[in-house]
Amino acid sequence: MKDKPILRYNANERTNHWLVAILFIMAALSGLALFHPALFWLSHLFGGGPWTRILHPFIGVLMFVFFFFLVLRFWRANFFIANDRLWLKRIDRVMRNEEEGVPPIGKYNPGQKLLFWTLLLCMLILLFSGIVIWRAWFSQYFDIGAIRLATLLHALAAFVLVLSIIVHIYAGIWIKGSVGAMLHGWVSRAWAKKHHELWYRDVTREDPPDSQISKKG
């Protein structure tokens, strides 16, 4: 059927994504509470200062674990392909919503791909630096120089991650239909063709006449 919607994210992928999003918000709020005295009031959300300090690293590790599952699901679809370079060159046309001269792209556009790898880099830095500064368990194995460097890297990576997620949310809202895809899984054929034509061709080529069309990377 011509107007049959296409499944972009299955239930496991959506649950995984929203778990990461919730854990990200918790990690960011508890981290900000510990970052500066002016934000210490945020610690009330987690049961006070000591509880915030205890919980923040566990929330962070849990976020990393679920984020890692997301990476396992999506890393292949985030490899750059030949058309991506031209798409980036023509980003001004994309921003003006023009279609002429903009090459078709796969499941994710190059902006999403850059963001994906930035998120992964930030998460890895946060995890490793976080272990070094986790006083209760690991800090005794590192000297003060390493702990200071790790503290700086932890704050820098968190800063870049928060900015990246703001861009991620903004882009999701800007491209109408994206948030719906992550909420209920489906996108219209017109949406898939307009925003991710190579992916659209890929999933519809395998479209058996009377079955659901499932997503593919």
Nearer CB in complex with ligand HEM: 20/132: 20
State the alpha helices, DSSP H only, in 100-143. Answer: 110-132
Residue 15's closest CA among 184, 192, 191, 186? 184
Residue choice 64, 67, 191, 199 for contact with ligand HEM (CB under 6 A): 67
Nearer CB in complex with ligand HEM: 79/148: 79
Q: Quick check: is 56 catalytic?
A: no
Residue choice 83, 139, 151, 178 for contact with ligand HEM (CB under 6 A): 178
Q: Is 97 left (phi over 0), alpha (psi -120 to 50) or beta?
A: left
Interface stretch with ligand HEM, choices 45-53, 151-159, 173-181, 205-213 (CB under 6 A)? 173-181
Total chain residues near ligand HEM (CB under 6 A): 21
Nearer CB in complex with ligand HEM: 54/167: 167
- Is 169 a binding residue for ligand HEM by CB under 6 A? The answer is yes
Site for ligand HEM in 105-134 (CB under 6 A): 108, 112, 116, 119
CB 46 within 8 A of CB 33: yes
Q: Kindly state the tokens that stand for 105.
A: 């792209």
Shortest reach from residue 176's CB to ligand HEM, in Å: 10
Q: How far, in Å, CA of 100 to CA of 82, rounded?
A: 18
Q: How far, in Å, CA of 127 to CA of 154, rounded?
A: 8
Write the DSSP symbol of residue 211: S
- Is 24 a binding residue for ligand HEM by CB under 6 A? The answer is yes
C-alpha to C-alpha distances, 50 to 28, 37, 122, nearest whole angstrom? 17, 14, 26
- Give catalytic residues, as residue numbers: 168
Question: Which residues of the chain form contacts with ligand HEM (CB under 6 A)?
Answer: 8, 17, 20-21, 24, 67, 70, 74, 78, 108, 112, 116, 119, 165, 168-169, 172, 178-179, 181-182
